[in-house]
Structure 1
Amino acid sequence: MQEFDTPVVDNHLHLDPDHGRGLEAVKDFARSGGTHLLVVNKPSWLLGHEVETGEDFRPVFETTVEVVREASELLPGRAWPVLGVHPGLVSKLVDDRGYDPEAARDLMCAGLDTAAEFVREGDALALKSGRPHYEVTDAVWEASNAVLRHGLDLAADCDCALQLHTESTTDLSDVAEWADERGVPGERVVKHYAQGHLTGGTPSVMSDKDRLEDAAERGDPFFMETDFIDDPDRPGAVMGPKTVPRRVDWLLDAGRDDAVRNAHVETPASVYGIDTEATLDR
């Protein structure tokens, strides 16, 4: 088993214990030198739930909380759940199920309300929301931004970070302004699937070498992630669970110790309030 003299955190991946690799993916991560995971619930429809109320999201979140508990037993560090509503749900509701954008908005906000209960009770670390990364109508875009702003309201109320799935961009100044209006610290707005830099939040950088070189060179706070989707029907999609440890090894070989500490110790502490060194038991 590979070991590093540092925590190794994947800030965004999914685990599906019923349909995917589940804990086997966690074992791959740990054997490669990984120590800590932030596990984001898979979209509700991919776990077989056709939601109609906010409460209908609860089994989606409970599945994630349980697999995180089991994952923590396999890691030299631990895992934390990040719970929320995938912004792509708006299209499932509007295009496939006949919802109008306002009704879709209300259902997605209700789902976020349920996710926030888990954060308040200490069963989840952060929330997840966002807006579509593809073309939508103005009405759907407006509804999606309303959901995102509701996520920020809840992040303020729960005193937690909000991970975002958004369009491909290096500028989330609009979201940063909404966060500031609600008293959410800017660093707690975390853009998943990010480039190596970001205006208006903290980038969770996809772990390809070009993006990581950019992040390391700049020296701003950042995370590393894979967005491993744990879908047996898409085995090559996004990145595998061994990727972050391998990229940490690559960064250390390149003398980027400061960047590794930034992404795996300092940024987790400043954004989530977690101590990845104190929770590491070799």
Structure 2
Amino acid sequence: MGMRELGTPVLDDHLHLDRNGARGIDAVRDFARSGGTHLLVVNKPSWHLGFEAETGADFRAVFEETLDIVADATDELRGRAWPVLGVHPGLVSRLVDERGFAPEEAADLMCAGLDVAAEYAAAGEPVALKSGRPHYEVSDDVWNASNRVLRHALKRAAETGVALQLHTETTEDLTDVGAWAEDAGLPPERVVKHYASGTLAGVTKSVMCEKDYLETAVESGEPFLMETDYVDDPDRPGAVMGPKTVPRRVNWLLEAGRDEAVRRAHVETPEAVYGIDTEATLA
């Protein structure tokens, strides 16, 4: 099957790739064949790759792995891939519940991991850091520690001139985080809630590619991105959505005459949030 061209850059804003995953680089080929051109590849949670971090420096192996697979992905794309590096907010529970860390100690280790991610950002490779707070019920101590990590990530992103992707609780209102971003010197529109529905206040939404979410996002007239959160997990091969989903949804929007919204999600918002030019980087 030949490469499909949709006449526009097509960016998946958040997915994971793993050389030992379900599909690895074959997932990128599926994406490209369906018309996909650009990817933001987020490092997998450290423990999924078998790393149990003791120090911030221990995250370096996870980040290096991500940089390697981003280079491989770029080789397969008409556009290119970029890394997003950080510390998954769910790590706090692994540290506290399974490894006996106090919440504040867990936060210290996570902040140290973000400091290492920020070193890479300062050197120019990642276009965003990744942080957030748990999306499930936690104690007040863990919640407060998590918010400290999130605020540290905002500060680091501001200092290094990159965006910040967040994994958070299910919500349509992150104006609290938008205000913290302002405090940290990071424009709130450069903060992205990954796994968003079609409605979100406070920061930029990266919309999971459910058709009803996309219709809401398109109608809103607001900046948005599109993602699958593909996890490349051998035990859950299609989760969360398959790599062909964003190109298929772009095609669906174009067939409905929503060219302006496609441009917003795949050219204008990526430029405003990450400073990336999806048109100039298209071969």
4+ aligned runs moved over 4 Å, structure 1:
none
* Percent of aligned pairs with the same amino acid: 70
Q: CA deviation at 1:238?
A: 1.1
Write the distance in 2 (CA, Å) between the matches of 1:162 and 1:236: 26
Please report the TM-score for the alignment, with normalisation by the length of structure 2. Answer: 0.98
Q: Which amino acid aligns with 1:53?
A: T
Q: Distance in 2 between matches of 1:87 and 1:250?
A: 33
How does 1:1-282 map onto structure 2 within 5 Å?
1-281=3-283
Matched AA of 1:187: E
TM-score when normalising by structure 1? 0.99
The amino acid that maps onto 1:9 is L
Give the AA of the match of 1:122. Answer: G
Runs of 5+ consecutive residues of structure 2 not aligned to the other structure: none
2 CA distance for matches of 1:103 and 1:179?
24
Q: CA RMSD in A?
A: 0.6
Distance, in Å, in 1 between the alignment partners of 2:167 and 2:34 is: 27
How many residues align? The count is 281
CA distance in 2, matches of 1:30, 1:89: 32
In structure 1, what is the Cα distance between the partners aligned to 2:109 and 2:153? 13
CA distance in 2, matches of 1:206, 1:36: 16
Q: CA deviation at 1:225?
A: 0.1
User: How far has the Cα of 1:18 moved from its partner?
Assistant: 2.2
User: Separation in 2 of the partners of 1:11 and 1:52?
Assistant: 30
Amino acid at match of 1:130: G
Q: Which amino acid aligns with 1:148?
A: L
Structure 2 CA distance for aligned equivalents of residues 197 and 258 of structure 1: 18
- Encode CA deviations 1:34-59: one digit per residue, 9 max, x unaligned: 00000000000000101000000000
How far residue 123 of structure 1 moved from its aligned partner, in angstroms, is 1.8
- Inter-partner Cα distance in structure 2 for 1:201 and 1:124: 20
Following superposition, the deviation at residue 20 of structure 1 comes to 3.1
